[in-house]
Structure 1
Amino acid sequence: MNQPRFQVEPVDYANALQDLRQVRETVFVQEQQVPVELEWDALDPLCHHVLARDAQGQPIGTGRLTPEHKIGRMAVLSAWRGQGVGDALLAALVEQARQRHWPEVSLNAQVSAESFYARHGFVAHGPRFQEAGIEHQAMRRRLGSPTAIDDVHAARGLLTALISQARRQLVIYSRDLDPGLFDQPIVLDALRRLATRAEPVEIRVLLQDAGTPQRLLAPLLPLAQRLPSTFLFREIDDPVDRNYPSAYVANDAGGYYFRPLGNRFDGEAELDGAGRARQLREEFARIWERSRACTEYRALGI
């Protein structure tokens, strides 16, 4: 059996201080030129810390959770970036907050890492600002209750998180593939990564109007054309279903994004709302069964 390449675990601050320093001062002080006196603060001894170690036990990544319910000091050594360490650290910190029954966690993300946090369900709020000479964006994630989505920027971030979180199935109920959402590079890239996983994945798309995406050359269609066994399209056939005003996306991992009015972006989303996600998927399945296959897409090889 292969030995894990790295592991993440909560650590005691005093006992792990040397390892925390090794990572944080390499990343923040040496690489990013943050003054060392700004890197360490009075909150550190009061925080919940997590540490990633490689198979030899060497520290490779850190993160902390403050008494103010803020995630911070997320750092991964350069040789380990892009290998899932940051994802594992963030998941461990969110789980620490969930175990403490906190309703919400927040963070100040470096703008270069904003899309990373968005993939994990964090929504940007407020204007960008400077911290230690680096541009940041405040973000937050609700735990155990829906997050309000009130602009297209937040909608794209949560949609990307839902797609990334999906295990084997994603369902999309849309009027016409929602220009502004499913034509955006960040969303298309997440769909591409989901669709090309090693294990079988199914993405079902139910449209009220199948003609408009085809006429407007929606960029999702060529992707689906290359992966016809993964993407399945149907169009609403029952006149009663055509009067349904809402739109939604739901996955098989407890995540959903629901919009009361399908022509708007505002609504609510949750990454751990298993009950509501299951309800939407069951509703989707009923409508799917009485809808028609998009034969006009098949003519394109879809």
Structure 2
Amino acid sequence: MPALGFRVIAVEDYASAQPALRAVREAVFVREQNVPLALELDAERDPQCQHVLAFDESGEPIGTGRLTPDRRIGRMAVLGAWRGRGVGEALLAALLERAQTLGWREVSLHSQASATGFYARHGFLPFGERFVEAGIEHVAMYRLLGAPNPVDGREAALAALTGILAQARRGLWICSRELDPGLLDRAEAVAALRRFAVGGGQVRVLLHDPAAPQRALAPLIGLAQRLPTAFEFRAIEETVDQNDPAAYLVNDRDGWYYRPLGHRFDGETRIDGGPRARQLRARFEPVWERARPCTELRALGI
């Protein structure tokens, strides 16, 4: 799998790959993160797992990850000099591809708390309370393969938004009651939307009640006023549209997050659900055409 000066392979012979696996994992977990060597080695389980390795152009190992028999992704590690260059994404894609080949319907993982955004960008959602593992704070995350993922609560909603924004090319459509306080006003959400807009993304927002976020000084309105060519707001006024209780967001690359009750975060999401994404975009367009422009949300003088 060549890309950006590295390649990813599936390990066929654990014994011969063991030195490369240990070289990466000991560098990252033991020397960098101070995980005890005996705990990192996992000598009993490691041979039963399926591993992937990333190598640089000279054949030196630079990253690794594994699938355990209990359908968990683990030991994801990339050498410091190679982080931010797509190695982690390639390793994760290879592991997910292998899980699907095996017919698995779900994979889970224990993400270090600092890495949850990385996994959210690839469709994983958090569940449960944070916990300490090997002296490091972790979050349990999961992803259903080939099916919508249930969203339960605010943190899972933020992860769903993160995944849809990360996978989007140029378009994002949002239908919201009052700009989703607790989600679209989160600093992480506003930052992700800003990156998307600055990168050329276009965001259309349908609101049931534009006055509520205006009164609340919603940060997304301020962002839209600074980037007026990227954001457009319209207010739903037709009775048939106002009576629709749902809220949703959908991108132009088959990602969506749908809530049957727009005042709650509970719903379903999927980053690769083409038919449902097309259905939601088709649902959005006629409502958009019937809605009025929210001129009251524009910056003065615009």
Letter in 2 for 1:168: R
CA distance in 2, matches of 1:102, 1:44: 19
Q: Say whether residues 1:183 and 2:185 are aligned partners.
A: yes
Per mean C-alpha deviation after superposition, the further-off stretch among 157-166 and 176-185 is 157-166
Letter in 1 for 2:287: I
Structure 1 residue 245: deviation in Å?
Answer: 0.5
> Given that residues 54 and 63 in structure 2 are in contact (C-alpha distance below 8 angstroms), is that contact kept between their aligned partners in structure 1?
yes
Structure 1 residue 299: deviation in Å?
Answer: 4.7
Letter in 2 for 1:271: I
CA distance in 2, matches of 1:255, 1:211: 29
Q: How does 1:26-105 map to 2 (within 5 A)?
A: 26-41=27-42, 42-105=44-107
Per the alignment, do residues 3 and 92 of structure 1 end up closer, same or farther by CA in structure 2, a change over 3 Å counting?
Answer: closer
> Given that residues 225 and 299 in structure 2 are in contact (C-alpha distance below 8 angstroms), is that contact kept between their aligned partners in structure 1?
no
Structure 1 residue 4: deviation in Å?
Answer: 2.4
CA distance in 2, matches of 1:212, 1:301: 22
TM-score norm. by structure 2 comes to 0.92
Per mean C-alpha deviation after superposition, the further-off stretch among 57-66 and 257-266 is 57-66
Query: May I ask how many residue pairs the two structures share in their alignment?
Result: 299
What is residue 270 of structure 2 aligned with on the other side? 270
> Given that residues 4 and 85 in structure 2 are in contact (C-alpha distance below 8 angstroms), is that contact kept between their aligned partners in structure 1?
no
Give per-residue Cα distances to partners, 1:229-271, cap 9 Å, x unaligned.
2212111131211111010011122211111111111111112
Per the alignment, do residues 69 and 3 of structure 1 end up closer, same or farther by CA in structure 2, a change over 3 Å counting?
Answer: closer
CA distance in 1, matches of 2:290, 2:259: 22
> Given that residues 228 and 301 in structure 1 are in contact (C-alpha distance below 8 angstroms), is that contact kept between their aligned partners in structure 2?
no
Residue 83 of structure 1 aligns to a residue whose secondary structure is coil
Per mean C-alpha deviation after superposition, the further-off stretch among 253-262 and 15-24 is 15-24
Q: Identity percentage over the alignment?
A: 59
> Given that residues 3 and 55 in structure 1 are in contact (C-alpha distance below 8 angstroms), is that contact kept between their aligned partners in structure 2?
no
> Given that residues 206 and 234 in structure 1 are in contact (C-alpha distance below 8 angstroms), is that contact kept between their aligned partners in structure 2?
yes
What is residue 25 of structure 2 aligned with on the other side? 24
CA distance in 1, matches of 2:99, 2:86: 20
Structure 1 residue 187: deviation in Å?
Answer: 0.9
> Given that residues 245 and 260 in structure 1 are in contact (C-alpha distance below 8 angstroms), is that contact kept between their aligned partners in structure 2?
yes
Letter in 1 for 2:133: E
> Given that residues 225 and 301 in structure 1 are in contact (C-alpha distance below 8 angstroms), is that contact kept between their aligned partners in structure 2?
no
Letter in 1 for 2:75: R
CA distance in 2, matches of 1:300, 1:93: 50
Letter in 2 for 1:34: V
> Given that residues 143 and 272 in structure 1 are in contact (C-alpha distance below 8 angstroms), is that contact kept between their aligned partners in structure 2?
no
CA distance in 2, matches of 1:3, 1:91: 13
Structure 1 residue 3: deviation in Å?
Answer: 7.4
CA distance in 2, matches of 1:287, 1:221: 21
Per the alignment, do residues 134 and 233 of structure 1 end up closer, same or farther by CA in structure 2, a change over 3 Å counting?
Answer: same
Letter in 1 for 2:27: T
Letter in 1 for 2:21: L
Structure 1 residue 83: deviation in Å?
Answer: 2.8
Any stretches of 5+ residues in structure 1 without a counterpart?
none
CA distance in 1, matches of 2:95, 2:196: 24
CA distance in 1, matches of 2:55, 2:92: 14
Q: How does 1:1-302 map to 2 (within 5 A)?
A: 4-12=4-12, 13-41=14-42, 42-197=44-199, 200-300=200-300
Letter in 1 for 2:128: G
CA distance in 2, matches of 1:46, 1:99: 17
Residue 127 of structure 1 aligns to a residue whose secondary structure is strand
TM-score norm. by structure 1 comes to 0.92
Letter in 1 for 2:230: T
Residue 128 of structure 1 aligns to a residue whose secondary structure is strand
Structure 1 residue 286: deviation in Å?
Answer: 1.7
CA distance in 2, matches of 1:4, 1:57: 14
Runs of 4+ in 1 over 6 A off after TM superposition: none
> Given that residues 165 and 196 in structure 2 are in contact (C-alpha distance below 8 angstroms), is that contact kept between their aligned partners in structure 1?
yes
Residue 129 of structure 2 aligns to a residue whose secondary structure is coil
Residue 20 of structure 2 aligns to a residue whose secondary structure is helix
Any stretches of 5+ residues in structure 2 without a counterpart?
none
Per the alignment, do residues 301 and 112 of structure 1 end up closer, same or farther by CA in structure 2, a change over 3 Å counting?
Answer: farther
Structure 1 residue 61: deviation in Å?
Answer: 1.1
Give per-residue Cα distances to partners, 1:54-85, cap 9 Å, x unaligned.
23332211111112110000011111223332
